[in-house]
Structures are given as C-alpha cells and as structure tokens.
Amino acid sequence: MKEKLEALKENALKRIEEAKELDVLNDIKVSFLGKKGELTAILKGMKDVSKEDRPAVGQLVNDTRAAIEAALEKETSKLQKKLREEKLKREVIDVTLPGEKVKMGHRHPNQIALEALEEVFVGMGYEVVEGPEVEYDKYNFEMLNIPANHPAKDEQDTFYINSEILLRTQTSPVQARVMEQGKMPIRMIAPGRVFRSNEVDATHSPSFHQVEGLVVDKGITFSDLKGTLQQFAQEFFGKDTKVKFRPHHFPFTEPSAEVDITCFKCGGTGCRMCKGSGWIEILGCGMVHPNVLKNCGIDPDEYSGFAFGIGLERVTLLKYEIDDMRLLYENDTRFLKQF
Ligand code: DAH
C-alpha cells in the first residue's frame, strides 16, 4: 500500500509539473482526486488493510492527497500568472497615441427647417400629430372629396400596395384621421413623408415631405387663415415678408388658394431666386370643404375650418438658398454640415 501511494504521488507530481495548460491540470485533478480517481480507488481498498495499520495508512493517504492538492494549487497559480503576463504583453496599449476623432452627427436641413416651422405653429397653440405613410385610398382621396376617377388622382399617381392601400401622396389624409376623432376644436400640424411616382429632377422626387395644417372650430373664417399664414411667413422668413393669395383649386377646400411670399432675397424687386417676379410660391390652402367635414362626421353648419399644405423641401430650399432638391437626399456630409 505504501509503495503504491508513493508511486501514485510521484506520478501525479510529475504530471503536474509537466502540465502547460490549465485544462490539463484540471484533468489531472480529476484523474487522481475525482470520484473515480486513482487515490479514491486506493481509499476504497482500505477495508482490506488490517485494523492496526489503518491509522498509519490513513495518514499516508491524507498526506498524499494534501501533497497533490498543494502541487496542483501552486502550478495553477503559476500558470495563471504566466497567462496573464502573456496577455498583457499581447495587448499593450499605447496611451500616447492620439484618440480617434468621434464624428458628431448633424441635423438634416429639412429637419432644421421643420423644427423652426413647428416652433412657429406650436407657439400659436397647434398640436403636432403624425399619420401613417402607408395609407388607405379612403383617407388619401375618398374622404378628401376626391372620388374614384377624379382627375386629381391622376396628378397624384403613387405606389399602390393593392387597390385600397397606397403610399400616401399628401399629408392631407391626416386631416381626415384627426377630424374623424371628433375632438373639437382642432388646431394641428402634421409633418411627414409623402410619395408620388415622380421622375427625379432638381425640384421633384418620388419621396418628399409636407406639413399639413388644419384648424376646425366654430366661426373660423378665411381671414383667420390669412392672418395665420401671414404670421407664419413673417416668423419663418423674416418680418418684412408679405403674403399674396392667388385663387386656386383643391378638391378638399373651397375656396382654395395658393400662397406666394415676397422674395426674401430681393425683397420683391425681382431677382434670380424669384425668377424676376418678386414672389415665391410656398403652399396651398383653403377653407375645408363642407363635404370633407361631412365625410368626417362634422356638421358644416356648426363648424368651419381652414387647411394648408406646405412642401417642406420647398421651404428648406428657399430658406437655405439651395438650388437642387437632390442635394438634400444624397447624404453627402460635406454638403449637409454647412447648415
Ligand atoms: N395636399 C395638397 C397637395 O399635396 C396641398 C394642400 C393644398 C393641402 C391645400 C391643404 C390645402 O391642406 O388646403 O398638393
């Protein structure tokens, strides 16, 4: 028994010393001290040892175990230390190298213009609401007094998901969605992305943005509309800006108008910016058509309202004197960071 233990200890210590990896040390531990290990097997043979010899042999087994454990521990910490040192050597950090510059993002000119615009209307008590970009034909056309086969549908050709669902051509459907809820009075703007099957050029894109405006209450008149848009134009483009209403037609407003502002570049005398006319068109507007109110469950004899639709890119291009809409979408940061 004694020789057996001696041989086992020697063997174990030798293998521990030769081990070069933590996994190997663990295997050694298992194979000697584990449940099915060699030392454990010897322990099981104790029953064959005579009673008198048992304490001495027991002591020997314990000593052997302690020696193996101590050797394992020593070798493990030695190996761990070595591995750590190697790792540190591999991962040297040169703290004197200059840091990598973090490139700060920048708000898009469209977004800057939108926030300025929202500020004006929120200041007048408007709420900012959103509607879905994938919209029902019903909201985009039908409820806005544009029935099937109406020529206005041709001008706003878009991308259809199926015969009832499409990518909205305008933000006007948000008007219907808000009115339908029936919470009076309404004073809201609805900015968002719209889609049309447009060819790309300096002033057109298949996807662009609009800001819809809607006010519905008792006794709202065209003069409220004029005053509101005059105020907006002055706050947004400068206090000397004048507005001009030109009669126009939109199916969802009656009467309807297009609004021009005096050219903020030349002040109205005529320049390249306004193509010599002194005026620049910025939006469409009008009094909400009684049919639209009715379609949305609002009594046109009790309530009236006005609406307007601003092309966001249009005012962004004007405000920053950018001459090509495509620049807004190319994501060239050298361009975008100028604003
Ligand atoms: N939705 C119209 C368009 O895309 C713009 C517009 C005109 C909106 C008049 C309005 C409005 O709310 O009253 O051409």
Cα–ligand 1 centroid distance for 252 (angstroms): 8
For residue 163, what are its two tokens? 């015969």
Report whether residue 250 contacts ligand 1, using a CB cutoff of 6 Å. yes
What confidence tens digit (pLDDT) does each residue in 306-339 have? 999 999 999 999 888 898 999 999 989 899 889 8
What average pLDDT does range 40-46 have in this prediction?
80
Count Cα neighbours of 219 within 13 Å in the Cβ-side half-sphere: 0
What integer pLDDT is reported at residue 58 of this predicted model?
A: 82
Residues in the chain: 339
Label residue 284 by pLDDT band (50, 70, 90). Answer: very high
Cα–ligand 1 centroid distance for 254 (angstroms): 12
Closest ligand 1 atom to Cα of 309? 8
Asked if the model's pLDDT at residue 2 lies above 80, the reply is: no
CATH architecture of the domain with range 109-336: 2-Layer Sandwich (3.30)
b/e burial code for range 53-78 (CB count within 10 A of at least 16 → b): eeeebeebbeebbeebeebbeebbee
Triad 235, 240, 243: Cα angle to 5°: 80
List the chain domain ranges. 2-90, 109-336
Label residue 147 by pLDDT band (50, 70, 90). Answer: very high
Report whether 243 contacts 229 (CB < 8 A).
yes
What confidence tens digit (pLDDT) does each residue in 239-275 have? 999 999 999 999 999 999 999 999 888 888 998 888 8
Among 208, 250, 253, 306, the mutation site with the greatest number of ligand 1 atoms within 8 A of its Cβ is 250
Q: What's the rounded Cα separation, in Å, for the pair 137 and 146?
A: 10
Cα–ligand 1 centroid distance for 143 (angstroms): 14
Asked if the model's pLDDT at residue 141 lies above 80, the reply is: yes
What confidence tens digit (pLDDT) does each residue in 4-15 have? 888 888 888 888
What integer pLDDT is reported at residue 215 of this predicted model?
A: 98
Q: Over the chain, what is the mean pLDDT?
A: 92
What average pLDDT does range 21-40 have in this prediction?
85
Q: Which of 128, 194, 174, 154 is closest to 292 using CA atoms? A: 174
